[in-house]
Every structure is written in structure tokens, then in C-alpha cells.
Amino acid sequence: MATSDAPYRLYYWPMIQGRGECARLVLEDAGAPYVDVARLPDEQGGGVNAVVTAMQGNLGKGVPPFAPPILTDGDLVLSQTANICRYLGERHGLAPREQGARWQAGALALTLADLFEEAHNVHHPISGSLYYEDQTDAAARAAECFRKERLGRFLDYFGRVIAVSGGPWVLGAQATYPDLVLFQALEGLSYAFPRAYAKAVAGVPALPALRDRVASRPRIAAYLASDRRIPFNEMGIFRHYPELDAAAD
Amino acid sequence: MATSDAPYRLYYWPMIQGRGECARLVLEDAGAPYVDVARLPDEQGGGVNAVVTAMQGNLGKGVPPFAPPILTDGDLVLSQTANICRYLGERHGLAPREQGARWQAGALALTLADLFEEAHNVHHPISGSLYYEDQTDAAARAAECFRKERLGRFLDYFGRVIAVSGGPWVLGAQATYPDLVLFQALEGLSYAFPRAYAKAVAGVPALPALRDRVASRPRIAAYLASDRRIPFNEMGIFRHYPELDAAAD
């Protein structure tokens, strides 16, 4: 193992929650010491430059990362949100103990990663490299499809997962890292699509219940109340453009 | 562990390679016995209905899957392509032995999953639920962005990974499951975007070399020559629409 006693170091864009927020939530709930490197002042090695340097593969040995979030644990350099969350979850008591269930937790985190991707695609259907303002027509159509066909399907699915496990957490009696990622998805969807979210979640009461349950975990509550939690904004994955949250669906 | 002596059962759309092809390649290279369930005749429980039933969560206990591919190993039900490939790779000598490298292999498979998603988004930028023919204008714009900004970035990245590892495989001297997924990505990209692919790969000779190397592994060569390998077509992830492969980029 490449672990060490040094704190984890997370490299992610300092101005948004984005995908990095999933890693932040697992680190916070675990009470694991970490440095959110890019949120340090530039003169302490922080800022956007810290992320760019990390993407260039200068952090350690082995496979360079393709994109942030990037987590280092000693000389081990990890990327991909679902991979980072699983790694942390398994090391900090936030994953199932049974091996089969660990692979099922992995699948849940990856299905949530797909939901994040689809939510991002709503405002950037043509390309992440163009401004939203340059793809508003396509975004309006993408948003309609997302609200009508995808949002409810995802929320119903996670409601079904909780029903099958017996709840209150996605995998049953014990909270695991997919609960934290699901919390972030619900936070983001309710921010970006308040009307469509309210409608879609109305028939799945287990989801707002889980969201409240995560928010009141002591370390998460402390985190959410701190300035370490960056507010939602229109630069991240979940953006509130009222025109994409529809009228009379 | 939920493993058993029964063969693996793979549930995936029987008419396309799609994401399921990554699981097929790992199973084939491992020489692992498996049933590609939906490719059985309907009267033997195959066909599209087999996939639909699997998606309804009727295969076993635990977390129901959200979408195919779905793999069962005894009573363990697994979903998400990268998760399935990692599971199989670690059980069949197609993963690194060292724990840290296993997480890095996981990150590579997830980065390839992102590439698959972006390649699919080119022809379905608005929604997977609409026909390509109903989103051709958006697709033309998405294709231009993909060819100019993403394709080369992904290919250069994997070339860099091979350079860092020392090659000839992505993680060094030993072939692992991300090599098989990368092979499938290269196959698909060269099918869908023959002109853009040829241009992008010209400066990254390690990639066609790896592609040839995978294709000539004995079990993969036998698989590719068999009727188990479904040809590419315009229903899958990688579709050849000449108008999306550009002219004078």
C-alpha cells in the first residue's frame, strides 16, 4: 500500500463544488485529515495552478491523471471521482464489509457519476468547451428530455434501491460513501431544477429523508455550516438556469 | 464472496457491441466461461427480454442494476462497465497485483468510460431518447468540438500513460483489463471517425501498436474471428456517420 501518515491532498477547482464535492464529503464524514490544495492562497501553492500542475502528472509516480478531482495518499495518485470515493470509503468505515456488497456500492457510485454527467450535459449538450450562452437552444431541448425522461427515472431507481435494502441508507442499516454522493446529487438537482426536482421527488419520500439524514450527520452538518462548503453557482455541474427548469411539464 | 462454479452470465443488448463489449473482451481474454444471455434464442430465455428482466432487478439479491451491462457471478449481481471489468480483471490475472496500481487501473477504466460517453454524445448530444436524425444540427456541432478538442486529448493522454509506464501495455510489462478497454475504444473511434482518428493517432504510435498487440492475443484473435463478435453498426456507441467525421478540420 502506498498510504502514509501525511494528510490526503485533494486537487480540484477551488471555485466550484463540482465532482470534487463528492470526495470532499467523504473526507469530511470520515474525519480524515486533508488539504484542499487549490483553496490555499497562490503563495502557498494553491489556486487553479495547483490543479493544472496536478493534471500534468507531476505529483507522483505511476499513471498520470486525466482530469480532476485528484487525490494523493502519500505517493499514490488517484483520479476519477467514483474511484476516489470508493478508495476513501473502504479505508474509513464508509463501505460495506462484505466483498460482494463492495462491488455493488461501486456500481451505485458509478450510476451517480452518470447522473452528474447527464445533469452537466443539460447545460452543455454540444461541448463543455463552449459557453452555455452559445448552446442555449440545444440546452433547452436537452433540459426537456432530462426533466421528462431521466430525472424521474434516476430518482425512482434510488428509491427502489433503498426499498430493496430496507433503508434507511442505500445499502441498508449502515451509511456508506454512496449515501454521501447521493446526498450531493439531491442537493445539486434541487438547486438546479427546483420545480422539476420537487415534482420528481414527491413520490419518493425516502430520498428527502436520506438527504436530511446525511445533512444532520455531525461532521457533515459542521462542514455544511463552514466556509469549506462552496455555495452552488453557475460554474459547476449543477447550475440554476430558470429557463431549463421549465414551466408546464 | 458470492462467487460460484457456475459460468458468468452477461446481460447486454444482443444487437450491438456497446459498453457490453468491454465486459465481453475481458471475459474472452480471461478464458472465463460465460453465457451471453441475450444472444441466446428467445425460447432459451435470450433476446432483448432477458436484458429488460435483468434491469427490473429480478436476477438476485442486493442492489438492482440501473442499466446494462449486467454480470452475474452466482448470486452476485454487478453493473456498470468499469466496475464489471475491474471485478473480472482482478479475479483472472488481468489486473495489477499491487493495491495502489489496482486503483490506478480503475481510474484508467473510468477515463475510458468517459471517452465512450463523449463518443456517444457526439451523435446524441440532446438526448439518448431521440433519434440521431432529430438532432443532426447539434450533432454536427458536437462532432466538430469532439474532433478538434477531445479526441486528440484523450489519445495523447493514453500515449503519455504508456510512455510513463514504459509500455508496451498501459500499466507496463503486464497486460491488464484497461488495455482491453482501450483496444475497444481505438476500434470504435477508428470505425466511427476514420479520418479524424487517423489524424489524431498519427503522432501516438504506441496506440496502434497496442491495438495490434491486443488483437493478436490468441483468445482475442479467436474471439474477433468468431460470430460472437458483433460487427460495428449504427445502433451502438461508435457510429460511422460520414458527416460527423469532417472534412477540412
pLDDT one-digit tens code per residue, B33-73: 999 999 999 999 999 999 999 998 888 778 999 999 999 99
Given CB atoms, is B136 within the 8 Å cutoff of chain A?
no
pLDDT digits (tens, 9 = 90+) for B129-182: 999 999 999 999 999 999 999 999 999 999 999 999 999 999 999 999 999 999
For residues B211 and B70, give the distance between their C-alpha atoms in angstroms, rounded to a whole number: 26
Given CB atoms, is A80 within the 8 Å cutoff of chain B?
yes
Chain B residues whose beta carbon lies within 8 Å of the beta carbon of residue A80: 106-107, 110-111
Chain A residues whose beta carbon lies within 8 Å of the beta carbon of residue B110: 80, 82-83, 110
pLDDT of residue B248: 52
Q: Which residue has cell 487501473?
A: B105
Interface contact A111-B79, CB threshold 8 A = yes
Task: Decide if pLDDT at B234 tops 60.
Answer: yes
Give the closest of A62, A101, A160 to B64, CB-based.
A160
User: What pLDDT band is residue B1 in, cutting at 50, 70 and 90?
Assistant: very low
For residues B79 and B65, give the distance between their C-alpha atoms in angstroms, rounded to a whole number: 6
Average pLDDT over residues A187-208: 97
In total, the C-beta contacts within 8 angstroms joining chain A to chain B are 143
The model carries a pTM of 0.97
Given CB atoms, is B130 within the 8 Å cutoff of chain A?
yes
Residue type, B30: A
Q: Write out residues 199-218 of A within 8 Å (CB-CB) of B.
A: none
